[in-house]
Structure 1
Amino acid sequence: MEWRDQGILLSSRRHGETSAIIEVFTPQQGRHAGVVRGGTSRKIAPILQPGAQLDVTWRARLEDHIGAFTVEPVRSRAAVAMGGRLALAGLNAVTGLLGFCLPEREPHLSLYQRTEQLLDLLGQEEIWPLAYLRWEMALLEELGHGLDLSQCAVTGAQDGLIYVSPKSGRAVSREGAGDWASRLLPLPDVLRGVGEAHDAEVAQAFQTTGYFLEAHLAAGLGTRPLPEARARFVEAFSRSL
């Protein structure tokens, strides 16, 4: 068995004396793991940094084997990520969430393309948090937990939408909320793609997407909590306001 693709490195860990096991997210093969022989060497180890764009070839005797990768660097994002605390926290949040929630060997082309575009914005702190928020919403959508914010789930109105139902992920208006308002999640305009997307609104929106990542996406995968890297990014962003 053999295939070749280009992908984003999600993680790398030592394997034995000189090798490493890596996970990459590729457009055609999805999240895929394999062994890199000599992955701890001075030549290869610097290449295997989370977020790196790699050209990878995977080989195995049988399809269900872990297999072995040969890797060639395409683009490193390490320098940009290390250039600022928010950039590094954001990169770790993206790679951590993908490694956590993506099923193995299942392609998600649209999400891959959005992820590559997002990571290419690293270091542009004036626009990156909003782009990351949009990416989280796309991640929820891709994995079957998308939010429907087009109209009120109770009245059908398209105006005055200020809440999200934590159960259905649908928008709720002030009128439709009634006595249930205290049990609903906030719906800042930025989540619907309207308004000026101020940083304070983006921070509030992270509360809502975070709820669905934890209570819907993570819960559907079992009892594992979300990677701490996501909370660290949100905290770093909130402190910067």
Structure 2
Amino acid sequence: MRIEAPAIVCGLRTHGEHGAIVRLMTEEHGLQSGYVRGARGRRMRPLLIAGNLVAATLSARTDNQLPQATVELTRSRAPLLAEPLPAAAIEWATALTATALSEAQPYPRLYSALDALLAAIEAAPSASGWGTALVRYELLLLAELGFGLDLKTCAVTGTSDDLIAVSPRSGRAVSAAEAEPYEGKLLPLPRFVRDGGQAGWTDIAQGLDLTGHFLMRDLLTQKSAVLGEARSRLVDRLRRAGGLD
């Protein structure tokens, strides 16, 4: 087996005295794991930071053998780790990807979306510029793994008018008239989630509450402790940045 492809570093786990197992997201081959010699050394450590874009080569003699991996840095996002909010967003997005996806299953749309999200975090001066991209990435991941939300029509009336909430049980949208008797029991549906475009801090926070509910319930039920903490740190920092707390 031999794979040569651009990849996004999504995780690293020490293995042995000097090496580590790196988890890489590729477009055509999905999530791939490989052993990197000297990964804990001074030269390699900066290359294997989560969120970095690398040119990766993975090779193994048999399909059951852990591949040997070599990487060359294409784009470093290490400087973002000095900023608490971007660092928390990169930590969460890459950890979510590495945890939720099956090994070697291609998800080209998720690869492109994750690459675009990381680029937006790098480019935007504020989380208000990339917060919507994070919500859309989480929605896409849910959909790609079979847990997509139905936000096109009202679960009760079947119409597409004035949709303002989502049922936390069914994941279906609810119109304003039908949502009124259940105030406080439904999840808010920010307009940007359905209509696109940018959004303010409150809408972004509501979008993350929406996706977070279904991620933790449907995808991360057995793994939510550590990941839940990472996501809580991100949401708390985002709320503080937007003056919501």
| TM-score normalised by structure 2 residue count | 0.90
> Which range moved further: 224-233 or 102-111?
224-233
- Counterpart of 2:203? 201
Q: Is the 8 A contact 2:47 2:76 kept in 1?
A: yes
How many residues align? The count is 237
Alignment of 1:56 with 2:56, yes or no, is yes
Structure 1 residue ranges (4+ consecutive) displaced by more than 6 angstroms after TM superposition: none
- Counterpart of 2:120? 121
Which of 208, 214, 221 aligns to 2:216? It is 214
For residues 101 and 140 of structure 1, what CA distance do their matches in structure 2 show?
Answer: 9
Q: Which runs of 5+ in 1 are unaligned?
A: none
What amino acid maps onto 1:152 in structure 2?
A: C
| CA positional deviation for 1:156 | 1.4
- Counterpart of 2:153? 151
- Counterpart of 1:184? 186
Q: Which runs of 5+ in 2 are unaligned?
A: none
| CA positional deviation for 1:196 | 5.9
* 1:126-178 superposed Cα distances (whole Å, 9 cap, x missing partner): 41112111111111111111122111111112222121011221101133246
| CA positional deviation for 1:88 | 0.6
- Counterpart of 2:172? 170
For 2:160, what is the secondary structure of its paired residue? coil
| CA positional deviation for 1:211 | 0.4
| CA positional deviation for 1:235 | 1.0
- Counterpart of 1:42? 42
- Counterpart of 2:100? 101
For 2:134, what is the secondary structure of its paired residue? helix
| CA positional deviation for 1:195 | 7.5
What amino acid maps onto 1:13 in structure 2?
A: R
RMSD, aligned CA: 1.7
| CA positional deviation for 1:83 | 4.2
Q: Is the 8 A contact 2:46 2:78 kept in 1?
A: no
Identity of aligned residues (%): 38
Q: Is the 8 A contact 2:31 2:103 kept in 1?
A: yes
What amino acid maps onto 1:130 in structure 2?
A: T
What amino acid maps onto 2:102 in structure 1?
A: P
What amino acid maps onto 1:59 in structure 2?
A: S
